[in-house]
Chains A and B, each alone.
Chain A
Amino acid sequence: MKRRQFLQAVMATAAVSLVPSLPLGAAPGRETFSEGSKALKAGRWAMVIDTRKMNDPRLQKKVIEACHSRHNVPDIEGPQEIKWIWTDSYDHTFPEQLNNYPAQTLTDRRFLLLCNHCENPPCVRVCPTQATFKRDDGIVVMDYHRCIGCRFCMAGCPYGARSFNFSDPQEYVKTPNPKFPMRMRGVVEKCTFCSEQLAKGELPYCVQASEGGILFGDLNDPASDVRKALLSAISIRRKPSLGTQPGVYYIL
């Protein structure tokens, strides 16, 4: 057998033995995924937090609990904590709103913080593997299986919305929700605007738990609740000067 024939034979055998071993659908193409007929769709999902209503600590706790328990967010104390939605003071939420004498209603309030699902997200720009990406409807999501844990996105996010799994999260989730994937050690995670809920035709957990304090809708639709709410009240966004175009609005 000549060298060339030998090589051809080897290649052919390899090809034949490889092809059937690939499970069908191992790498689904774009077309193979279809949303349910009930799925909620939008041109640009956005959130409006009415901080007048959402100032109640009980309600805030309920909202955070609703999100964290459903998404298996580990409860870790200290600087290596993981959080998708949390509260902070006016100064820390809007550090650019420098005012030596702000209204007491503002300084007394606690504000809900979460991923802003920016229209122009720096985290997506810096991610070297496209593990974090923006969907057509404006939601910034993550592929936890592709993330290499370089934490460039954490350096890039101007809102501190991202958390890193410094240790194995499983030990810190008391009652896991089997319907939502648990993350693993060494990857970054954050709020997903409940994309899994939207696919089922339901609103995000925090919105459901907010007793009307958080609105969610399509920013491109002038008749949507969010657009109507923004028209009728004074609202601000976090660090708008950076040009990221956050998708979370705060009614003051």
Chain B
Amino acid sequence: MIDKLLKGAPRFYAWLGLLAFIIMIGAGAYLYQLLCGLSVTGLSRNVSWGMYIAQFTYLVGVAASAVMLVLPTYFHGFKPFRKMLILGEFMAIAAVIMCMLFITVDLGQPQRVLNVILHPTPHSVMFWDMLVLSGYLLLNLLVGWVGLECEQQGVEPPKWIKKLVYLSVIWAFSIHTVTAFLYAGIPGRHYWLTAIMAARFLASAFCSGPAILLLLALLLKRLTRFDPGKEAIRVLSIIIAYAMAINIFFYLLEVFTAFYSQIPGHMHPLAFLFSGHDGHGNWINGWMWLAAFLGLFSLVLLVTPSLRNNEKILPYALVMLVIATWIDKGLALLYAGFNPTMFDTYTNYVPSLTELAISLGVYAVGALIVSCLWKIALDVKKEAGTF
């Protein structure tokens, strides 16, 4: 099936070329970071994780989101998602690979990364995260690839694949739960030390991931005339609306507990995000208000049936949702975990240009993988008459 990559329109190769160019810039930036150490990042003793780990966290959610297509299809026999199932599975592959890359570029000694396997440590959540992420990658590779091959041959997928699909549904929940446990089990970091973290992660994943998938699917419709189907779009946007409602609800629960209890440790990180500290604003404040506005506005658009079902408005609602959830998880989560610091002080963190270039490079790798895998999937579908 890989041969499908060899026959494509010039604009497909131009797109890959652009991505390769961005990847080269990212690789150059990473080389620079390898030579100089993480001193070229905006990280510090007090804010010791930043852009990279935040993107990792966000993308675990994107990876887990494929389950929002797989679960209705396999657990409820909902047929309309069948056509775009493969897109979700292939996007999950790209997302997990990006996760792994973001972890790797964050390491101080990346060449020692196999120590995690050489010295397995069950009491560390990171060990489990490594296990569930690689397992999820393998599951999606198998399920996606074998499924597509069967589609090409015009045969039913083998029985064992179906078992793996069921496993992958549970597995998807596990990857984001375990990732939340990285944070939720740390004593002394109030913004993270909350039992609802995993639930919040899942809610945010199940709205943002499918939103990205749906946006890309709508883009495909324009570019290749691949139509996911009206019913699929309709139901997926309902799922996104529900997940976003739960996501915002969970966030407000955090706000209530912090501000009704009036416990300083619980209030301070939230206050820092929205208004800075001790009369000093912080660059994150504007982003947070933007996220709050976009999040609520996108929810209004998504819960109103006439607006949600309008294909002209839907993409805008989805873009707003993606930006809002990205700010929450891809910027604020880490920053407010480290502020206030362990000394009840505040330390500014701004990602450096190197960090941004490397992050962009990793995202380009993900885009490259998605582009290639989706190209294969669509060409196979064209041949098999399931386009």
Whether B273 is near chain A, meaning CB under 8 Å from some CB there, is no
Given contacts A79-B347, A160-B46, contact A244 B187 (CB under 8 A): yes
Whether A81 is near chain B, meaning CB under 8 Å from some CB there, is yes
A155 touches B108 (CB 8 A): no
Task: Say which one of A58-66, A161-169, A221-229 lies at the interface with B.
Answer: A161-169
Residues of B within 8 A of A155 (CB): 48-49, 186, 189, 337-338
Given contacts A92-B345, A155-B186, A187-B109, contact A127 B39 (CB under 8 A): no
Residues of B within 8 A of A98 (CB): 264
A146 touches B112 (CB 8 A): yes
A93–B43 Cα distance when bound, in Å, is: 22
A160 touches B45 (CB 8 A): yes
Given contacts A125-B123, A126-B125, A126-B186, contact A88 B36 (CB under 8 A): no
Task: Say which one of A8-16, A41-49, A128-136, A196-204 lies at the interface with B.
Answer: A128-136
A146 touches B37 (CB 8 A): no
Whether B257 is near chain A, meaning CB under 8 Å from some CB there, is no
Question: What 1/0 flags go to A8-36 for Cβ under 8 Å of B?
Answer: 00000000000000000000000000000
Question: What 1/0 flags go to B176-190 for Cβ under 8 Å of A?
Answer: 000000100011110
Residues of B within 8 A of A126 (CB): 124-126, 186
Residues of B within 8 A of A125 (CB): 123-124
B108 touches A186 (CB 8 A): yes
Whether A148 is near chain B, meaning CB under 8 Å from some CB there, is yes
Residues of A within 8 A of B47 (CB): 79
Whether A150 is near chain B, meaning CB under 8 Å from some CB there, is yes
A131–B127 Cα distance when bound, in Å, is: 13
Residues of A within 8 A of B253 (CB): none
- Rounded to whole Å, the gap between the CB of B37 and the closest CB of chain A is 4
Task: Say which one of B90-98, B113-121, B287-295, B296-304 lies at the interface with A.
Answer: B113-121
**Residue of A126, A167, A243 with most chain B CB atoms under a 10 A cut-off:** A126
Whether B215 is near chain A, meaning CB under 8 Å from some CB there, is no
Among residues of A, the one whose C-beta sits closest to the C-beta of B130 is A128
Whether B342 is near chain A, meaning CB under 8 Å from some CB there, is yes
A244–B186 Cα distance when bound, in Å, is: 11
B342 touches A129 (CB 8 A): no
Whether B219 is near chain A, meaning CB under 8 Å from some CB there, is no
Residues of B within 8 A of A239 (CB): 188
Whether A80 is near chain B, meaning CB under 8 Å from some CB there, is yes
A92's partner among B109, B116, B337, B344 (CB-CB below 8 A) is B344
A158 touches B188 (CB 8 A): yes
A127–B125 Cα distance when bound, in Å, is: 8
A151 touches B121 (CB 8 A): no
B45 touches A148 (CB 8 A): no
A58–B344 Cα distance when bound, in Å, is: 26
B116 touches A160 (CB 8 A): no
A88–B344 Cα distance when bound, in Å, is: 12
Residues of A within 8 A of B43 (CB): 80, 166
Residues of A within 8 A of B41 (CB): 166
A243 touches B187 (CB 8 A): yes
Interface residues of A in 49-81 (CB under 8 A from B): 78-81
A149 touches B107 (CB 8 A): yes
Residues of B within 8 A of A122 (CB): 186-188
Interface residues of A in 145-202 (CB under 8 A from B): 146-152, 154-160, 163-168, 184-188
A128 touches B108 (CB 8 A): no
Among residues of A, the one whose C-beta sits closest to the C-beta of B345 is A92
A128 touches B45 (CB 8 A): no
- Rounded to whole Å, the gap between the CB of A40 and the closest CB of chain B is 29
Residues of A within 8 A of B44 (CB): 78-80
- Rounded to whole Å, the gap between the CB of B262 and the closest CB of chain A is 12
Among residues of B, the one whose C-beta sits closest to the C-beta of A126 is B124
A155–B109 Cα distance when bound, in Å, is: 17
Among residues of B, the one whose C-beta sits closest to the C-beta of A145 is B112
Whether B341 is near chain A, meaning CB under 8 Å from some CB there, is yes
Residues of A within 8 A of B108 (CB): 147-151, 164-165, 185-188
**Residue of A156, A168, A187 with most chain B CB atoms under a 10 A cut-off:** A156
Whether A231 is near chain B, meaning CB under 8 Å from some CB there, is no
Given contacts A151-B49, A166-B38, contact A129 B115 (CB under 8 A): yes
A148's partner among B113, B186, B341 (CB-CB below 8 A) is B113
**Residue of A129, A158, A167, A168 with most chain B CB atoms under a 10 A cut-off:** A129
A93–B343 Cα distance when bound, in Å, is: 6
A229–B324 Cα distance when bound, in Å, is: 55
- Rounded to whole Å, the gap between the CB of A155 and the closest CB of chain B is 6
A80–B352 Cα distance when bound, in Å, is: 14
- Rounded to whole Å, the gap between the CB of B225 and the closest CB of chain A is 45
Among residues of B, the one whose C-beta sits closest to the C-beta of A122 is B187
Whether A102 is near chain B, meaning CB under 8 Å from some CB there, is no
Residues of A within 8 A of B115 (CB): 128-129, 131, 146, 148
- Rounded to whole Å, the gap between the CB of B112 and the closest CB of chain A is 5
Given contacts A125-B123, A126-B126, contact A79 B107 (CB under 8 A): no
- Rounded to whole Å, the gap between the CB of B143 and the closest CB of chain A is 28
Whether B355 is near chain A, meaning CB under 8 Å from some CB there, is no
Residues of A within 8 A of B182 (CB): 152
A148–B187 Cα distance when bound, in Å, is: 22
Whether A242 is near chain B, meaning CB under 8 Å from some CB there, is yes
Whether B106 is near chain A, meaning CB under 8 Å from some CB there, is yes
19 A–B contacts, CB within 8 A, in A order: A78-B44, A80-B45, A88-B343, A122-B186, A122-B188, A125-B123, A125-B124, A126-B125, A127-B121, A128-B127, A129-B112, A129-B115, A146-B119, A148-B112, A156-B187, A159-B342, A163-B45, A167-B36, A168-B37
Ranked 9 nearest A-B pairs via Cβ: A149-B108, A186-B108, A158-B188, A79-B44, A95-B344, A160-B342, A128-B126, A167-B39, A92-B343
- Contacts A150-B106, A154-B48, A184-B109 known; 9 new A-B pairs at CB < 8 A: A122-B186, A127-B124, A129-B118, A146-B112, A149-B109, A149-B112, A155-B186, A155-B338, A166-B38
